[in-house]
Amino acid sequence: MHNRRDFLRNSILAAGALGLRSEALIVPPLPAQDMDEEKYWKLIREQFPLSHQRIFLNNGTIGPSPYPVVSSVYKDMMEVDTEARYAGMEDEARQALAGFLGTDKSEIALTRNCTEGINICCWGLPLREGDEVILSRHEHVGNAGPWLNRAKLTGIKIKAIPFGQTAEQTLDIVKKTVTGKTKVIALPQIPCTIGQILPTREICAFAKEHGIFSFVDGAHPPGMLETDLHQLGCDMYSGCCHKWMLGPKGTGFLYVAKDFRDTVQAFYGGGGVDTGWDLLSDPPLLKGYVDDGHRYYYGTQNASLFQGIVKAVEFHEAIGKGKIEKRVRKLAAYLQENLLKIIPGIEMLTPVEAISRGAQIGFRIKGKEMADLQTHVRKRGIIVRYVPENNINCLRVSTHIYNSFKEIDTFLQATEEFAKGGA
């Protein structure tokens, strides 16, 4: 009871700081004309229950939700369990996501995470033994695992490519890797390792020109970058709401372009997937699949989490997606520039090219173990991610709207101390 009182008190105080009711969006759509920009972002920071006892620079793993998201999920769960209400909010969540992502609602399926959507596409595509799929050497297990599993079980072939230091170089690598057997290009728009932004729109256009399926692992861009999937031009895109979108944990989405829907076979059945079924006919039959993204998800869902998705979208849109992208990229650029300036022996893995740099910076320090640096800064209350995948062995730092230049300076100071041999 005490914790609940504290939570409600903090929510009301945060809302009061901006002159809004606690049940309303507690963020102004634009900073007041007489408000300093850093003061504005400090007010945004107060909308998060995230502890002030730590500096959280690991949004690439999980994104703390702001009060409007947390309170809406809590409120809806209480209503469901008080009124014994069944389901709901699916249409609202899909519509919110469609608007946020630049798609039609019918192209959105609700999933639990990015990996679930990847598996749906990986197994739903009509691939045969010997068909080639292009991945990268920077994959998260969520994108690598499904394709490697299908390769193990059905004999498709995986090609893993490196990235270039520029968007043009990366696009050229993709083009040179394609053969007559290439059937899928399945790359992240932003890899989890070093945060490099790939030239995804150009890659998808190239794939379409050559009759190749394009799948995009979109775990990171929505909520970090302004994202329009129709403009991106991909066939399929899987993302999650619990990273940069700051939504409820265990929520995600799958986009399948409407003209590509009949290419991705649905393998799981249940309520909402079909156009009708009959166990009394001879033989029993499934009549068909709905002409909608609902063919890829089914059964009882958590309506309260869907409410949280809606509130997360509203939170971003109240601030402004363009304003958020500008802020998080500005923080990351400041971090990268100063790492290069003050850290001896640094090996910068994230490109310095602006169009290839988002809000995550990956680096190594010559002669140092990056896992030790993670431990070093954690002792100072700074949370970052060590990246061991594929022997990359770097440190990844994520910057979101609740972070400040002062926090980055604290991280830089601790990193410089470590680089120079401090404990």
Interval 348-373: pLDDT, tens = 999 999 999 999 999 999 999 999 99
Cis peptide before 283 (omega within 30 of 0): yes
Strand, coil or helix: what is 271? coil
User: What pLDDT, on a 0 to 100 scale, did the predictor assign at position 33?
Assistant: 56
Q: Residue 3: is its pLDDT beyond 60? A: no
State the chain's mean pLDDT as an integer: 92
Q: SS3 for 36?
A: coil
pLDDT in tens, 15-74: 444 333 344 445 554 455 556 889 999 999 999 999 999 999 999 999 999 999 999 999
Instruction: Answer for the pair 277, 215: CB distance below 8 angstroms, yes or no.
Output: no
What is the C-alpha to C-alpha distance for residues 23 and 134, in angstroms, rounded to an integer?
47
Whether 2 shows a pLDDT value over 70: the answer reads no
Torsion of CA 123, 259, 236, 69, to 10 degrees: -110
264 close to 234: Cβ distance less than 8 angstroms: no
What does the pLDDT read at residue 383?
Answer: 98
In the prediction, which pLDDT does 421 show? 85
Nearest-Å Rg of the Cα atoms of the chain is 22
The pLDDT of residue 34: 59
pLDDT digits 0-9 by tens, 195-244 = 999 999 999 999 999 999 999 999 999 999 999 999 999 999 999 999 99
pLDDT at 14 > cutoff 50: no
Q: How far apart are CA 294 and CA 257, in angstroms?
A: 13
Task: State pLDDT tens for residues 245-290.
Answer: 999 999 999 999 999 999 999 999 999 999 999 999 999 999 999 9
Instruction: State yes or no: pLDDT of 5 exceeds 50.
Output: no
With beta carbons less than 8 A apart as the criterion, state whether 183 and 158 touch. Answer: no
Helix/strand/coil (H, E, C) string of 149-203?
Answer: HHHHHHCCEEEEECCCCCHHHHHHHHHHHCCCCEEEEEEECCCCCCCECCCHHHH
What is the Cβ-side half-sphere exposure of residue 379, based on CA atoms within 13 angstroms? 11
Backbone angles phi, psi at 350, to 5 degrees: -75, 130
How does DSSP assign 120-160, residue by residue? HHHHHS---TT-EEEEETT--HHHHHHHHHHHHHH--EEEE
Q: What percent of the chain shows pLDDT beyond 90?
A: 88
Nearest to 115 by CA among 138, 90, 93, 145: 145
| Bridge partners (DSSP) listed for residue 215 | 186, 236
Residue 194 pLDDT more than 80?
yes
3-state class of 3 per DSSP?
helix
Tokens representing residue 303 in the block: 């309506």
Among positive and negative, which fits the CA dihedral 420, 421, 422, 423? positive
Q: Which helix (H) or strand (E) holds 7?
A: helix 2-17
What are the angstrom distances between the C-alpha of 182 and each of 118, 127, 185, 384? 18, 10, 8, 37
Q: Are 235 and 205 in contact (CB under 8 A)?
A: no
pLDDT of amino acid 19: 37
Q: In this predicted structure, which of 151-155, 347-351, 418-422 has the lowest mean pLDDT?
A: 418-422
What count of residues does the chain have? Answer: 423
Which stretch of 300-304, 323-327, 397-401 has the lowest confidence by average pLDDT?
300-304
Q: Which amino acid is at 406?
A: K
329-346 burial: b if 16+ Cβ within 10 Å, else e: bebbbbbbebbeeebeeb
What is the value of pTM for the model shown?
Answer: 0.91
Residue closest to 11 by CA, chosen among 49, 56, 44: 49
**Tokens 């998060």 belong to which residue?**
48
For residue 238, the 8-state DSSP code is E
Q: Give the pLDDT of residue 7.
A: 36
- Per CATH, domain 90-315 is 3.40.50.150: no
CB 260 within 8 A of CB 235: yes
pLDDT at residue 404, rounded to an integer: 97
Predicted local distance difference test score (pLDDT) of residue 36: 83
How far is the C-alpha of 348 from the C-alpha of 338, rounded, in Å?
11
CB-neighbour burial class of residue 410 (10 A; exposed 0-12, middle 13-18, buried 19+): middle
What pLDDT is stored for residue 35 in this prediction? 67
Whether the CB-CB separation of 201 and 170 falls below 8 Å is answered with no
Q: Is the pLDDT of residue 8 over 80?
A: no
pLDDT tens sequence across 157-183: 999 999 999 999 999 999 999 999 999
pLDDT score at 422: 64
Sort strands 132-136 and 182-188 into parallel, antiparallel or unpaired.
parallel
